[in-house]
Structure 1
Amino acid sequence: MDPAALFASVTGMALPRAAGVLAASGLPVFPCVPGGKRPLTSHGFQEASNDLSRVAAWWRRWPGANIGVPTGRASGLEVVDVDRKASGSGFPALHRARGAGLIAGWQAVVRTPSGGAHLYFPADPSRPQPSWQAAGPHIDFRGESGYVIVPPSHVGTGESRAGYVVAGGPDRGIAAVDAARLRDFLDPRPEPSMTRARGVIRDGDAERLAAWVALRGEGERNRGLFWAACRLAEAGVDPTVTMDALGPAAEHAGLPPREVAVTIRSAYRAALATPRAGAAYGQGEAPRRGRRVESQVLS
C-alpha cells in the first residue's frame, strides 16, 4: 500500500465517496463526527471495516462524517503525530530524532489542520507497538489501540475549516519505527514498577485498563477514566505513565486532551487522599454504565 498515493487520489472527493475508495483499497475505515475526531460508532476504531456495503451505510447515515483509520496491525500503518500548538511544536524533537537515526524514512506525510504532521510508516505485524503520548516533545505515536483522521477530512466549520492534506510522498529508506526507542529518546524516564498495591497492577493490566477506557461511551467516559486512573494511582504508578497509558484511549473515546489531563490529576489527588478513593464506584468494580508543514520534516 502506498498511503501517499492513496490519500492523494481522494483529495477533493466528497467524504462518502472517499470513504468508499479507501475501503475498496483494503484500508479499514470508520466514521467520526463531522468537523471533529470523535468516533460516531459505539466501539470506535474497533469497528473499522473495509466492507463496502457497511462503509456505504455509515456514510449514508452520516454523509458529513470525517474518516478515521485504525493504526497498527488493523491497517498495517503506524503514525508519528507531530503536534504544533500554542504550547509548543514537535518539529524540533522530530529533527533531533531523525538526526539520531530513529526515523529512517516514511511512506507519506499528511499536514494536519493545526499545521502539524502525520508521518506514516509501515507496521511490522510481528511486533505490535502500543500508542503513546510524549507531551513535552509534542510528539505522539499511533500504533495498537490508536487511530488517525485521514484526507480529505477536515476540522472546524465554515471559514475556520482546515483539512488533512497530503504534503509529501515516500522518503528514502522506508522502515518501521522502533516506537519504544523513539519514546526513550524523546522522553526518557525510569522504568515504573507495576507490581504494587494488593496485586491490582500486573504486567499488561495498564493496557487492559486502557482498552476498557477506549470503549466507554458518552456519559461514562470521564467516570471510566477516573476509575481506571485511580486503580493505577493506588498501585503506585507514576502519573506520567498513567497519562501515557490511558490518555490516548480516553481521547479515542471522545474526551478532549485537557479534560483527560484534569481527570487523571483529580484521580491521583483522590487516590492519595483516600486509599480506596476509586472504589466509590463499587468495591473496586468497574463503573457501569491550516498552516504548512514545517520545512525540516521534508528535508
Structure 2
Amino acid sequence: MKSADELEEGVAGNKGQRGSGLVRSALEIAGRGWPVFPLRPGRKEPAIRNWERRATTDPDLIRRTWEVAPWNIGVACGPAALLVVDLDAGDRGDHGRQRLAALAAGAGQVIPADTYTVLTPGGEHLYFLAGDGGYRNTAGRLGAKIDTRGSGGYVVGAGSAVAGRRYRLACDLDPAALPGWIADRLAMTPPTPTPASVHTASSAYIAAALRGEVRRVAEATAGNRNHSLFVAAVRLGRFVHAGRLEEGVARDALLRAVDRHRGPGGLTDGEITRTIASGLRRYGSATSGTPSPTSAERHRSR
C-alpha cells in the first residue's frame, strides 16, 4: 500500500476529527486475519490501485493510513479466504434473503444464523469461510438480488458509511463454513451458447461473433466498461433483429460477460440492464421491432 502521505492526495479536514472509529473498525477486521484497504471517504470505490495485492493486516500500516483521512474500509475477500453473500433489499418487501431462504429450503436447509453478518444500507452481508474453493464474484447465480464476492472481489466493511448510512455489525461470530447447498449452486456451470442456440443461417459465424463480443465485455478496462457493453449489445442486436440469434441467448451471454464488472466501483444492476436493453434495441429487437435513438455516447463510462 502507499504511504499515508501518498494516500492523502488532497483530502482535507481536521486531523483530530478524522476517522478514529474507522481505524478501530479497520483494526478489528484485520485482527480476524482479513486484509483491509482504504475506500474513498463516504464511498465504495477503492482509494488505491492494486487493492487486492496491497490489502493488509499490519496494524501499524493501518493506523498510519487511517490517520490521513476517514477512509471507508474495504475487505479483500480472496486473500481473506472469504465468500460473502450480498443480499439486497428490493421494493415492496422483496429481499434477497427471501430468495436465499427459498434456495435453502429447496435443499432441506436454512440460512445459517451463526455466521459473521453485517447489515448494509441496502441489505446484509453474510460472511462464510471459502477455504481454497476458488470462488469468484457472481451476480444472480444464487437468485435475484443475491450477489457473491470472493477472489477478485471486496465488500465494504463494518464501521464504514455511505451517504451517511452505516454498515453495522449484526452478528459478531466467526464466519461459518460455506454451506454445501450454496457451494453446489455456485459450482454449477451456467449454460453457454452453442451453435445449436443460434439459427441455422451462418451459425458458426454468429457463434464466433457471440464469443468475441463476450470476450470484449469481459476484458473491458475501467472507464470503458459500460461503453464496451453497449457496443457489444448493438452488434449482437443486429443478429437478433435479423432473426439469426435468439434475444435471450444474446442477453444471457452479455450478463455473464459483465458479471466481473459488477459491484462497488463498477456497474450497477440497473446500469447493466438498461445498457443491454438499449444496445439490443438499437437496430430493433425481435420483441420490440422499433429502433432506439440511444447512442453509446449517452452512456456514462464506468
When normalised by structure 2's length, the TM-score is 0.64
Match of 2:291 in 1: none
Residue of 77, 82, 86 corresponding to 2:87: 82
Inter-partner Cα distance in structure 1 for 2:48 and 2:236: 28
Match of 1:153 in 2: 160
Inter-partner Cα distance in structure 1 for 2:87 and 2:99: 9
Structure 1 residues 69 and 117: alpha-carbon distance in aligned structure 2, compared to 1, 3 A threshold: same
Q: Which amino acid is 1:191 matched to? A: P
Structure 1 residues 98 and 198: alpha-carbon distance in aligned structure 2, compared to 1, 3 A threshold: closer
Note if contact 2:216-2:232 (Cα within 8 Å) is conserved in structure 1.
no
SS at match of 2:66: helix
SS at match of 2:263: helix
Q: Which amino acid is 1:95 matched to? A: A
Gap runs ≥5 in structure 1: 1-11, 274-279, 282-287, 290-299
Q: Following TM superposition, by how much is the alpha carbon of 1:44 offset from its aligned partner in structure 2, in angstroms? A: 4.8
RMSD: 4.2
Residue of 218, 226, 249 corresponding to 2:261: 249
Q: Which amino acid is 2:79 matched to? A: A
Match of 1:32 in 2: 39
Match of 2:120 in 1: 112
- Render the CA deviation track for 1:188-213: whole Å, top value 9, x for unaligned: x972216764645669x958953x44
Inter-partner Cα distance in structure 2 for 1:228 and 1:120: 35
Note if contact 1:78-1:142 (Cα within 8 Å) is conserved in structure 2.
yes
Match of 1:123 in 2: 130
Structure 1 residues 124 and 99: alpha-carbon distance in aligned structure 2, compared to 1, 3 A threshold: same
Structure 1 residues 177 and 51: alpha-carbon distance in aligned structure 2, compared to 1, 3 A threshold: farther
SS at match of 1:265: helix
Match of 2:242 in 1: none
Residue of 269, 272, 284 corresponding to 1:260: 272
Inter-partner Cα distance in structure 2 for 1:132 and 1:29: 21
SS at match of 2:270: helix
Q: Following TM superposition, by how much is the alpha carbon of 1:266 offset from its aligned partner in structure 2, in angstroms? A: 2.8
SS at match of 1:27: coil
Q: Which amino acid is 2:191 matched to? A: E
**Identity across matched positions, percent:** 29
Aligned residue pairs total: 250
- Render the CA deviation track for 1:10-58: whole Å, top value 9, x for unaligned: xx96113432443354321122232222222234545433345654454
Q: Which amino acid is 1:84 matched to? A: A
Q: Which amino acid is 2:117 matched to? A: V
Inter-partner Cα distance in structure 2 for 1:232 and 1:259: 18
Q: Which amino acid is 2:84 matched to? A: V
Q: Which amino acid is 1:162 matched to? A: R
Q: Following TM superposition, by how much is the alpha carbon of 1:247 offset from its aligned partner in structure 2, in angstroms? A: 4.0
Match of 1:100 in 2: 106
Q: Which amino acid is 2:47 matched to? A: L
Match of 1:191 in 2: 191
Note if contact 1:107-1:122 (Cα within 8 Å) is conserved in structure 2.
no
Matched, 1:68 2:80: no
Note if contact 1:39-1:254 (Cα within 8 Å) is conserved in structure 2.
no
Inter-partner Cα distance in structure 2 for 1:47 and 1:223: 29
Match of 1:132 in 2: 138
Inter-partner Cα distance in structure 1 for 2:37 and 2:232: 26
Note if contact 1:201-1:232 (Cα within 8 Å) is conserved in structure 2.
yes
Match of 2:171 in 1: 167
Note if contact 1:229-1:246 (Cα within 8 Å) is conserved in structure 2.
no
Inter-partner Cα distance in structure 2 for 1:42 and 1:76: 21
Gap runs ≥5 in structure 2: 1-18, 196-203, 240-244, 286-294
Inter-partner Cα distance in structure 1 for 2:190 and 2:117: 32
Inter-partner Cα distance in structure 2 for 1:165 and 1:44: 23
Q: Which amino acid is 1:48 matched to? A: A
- Render the CA deviation track for 1:71-93: whole Å, top value 9, x for unaligned: 2x321110111111226212222
Structure 1 residues 198 and 104: alpha-carbon distance in aligned structure 2, compared to 1, 3 A threshold: closer
Note if contact 1:192-1:238 (Cα within 8 Å) is conserved in structure 2.
no
Note if contact 2:101-2:111 (Cα within 8 Å) is conserved in structure 1.
no
Match of 1:285 in 2: none
Residue of 56, 61, 72 corresponding to 1:49: 56
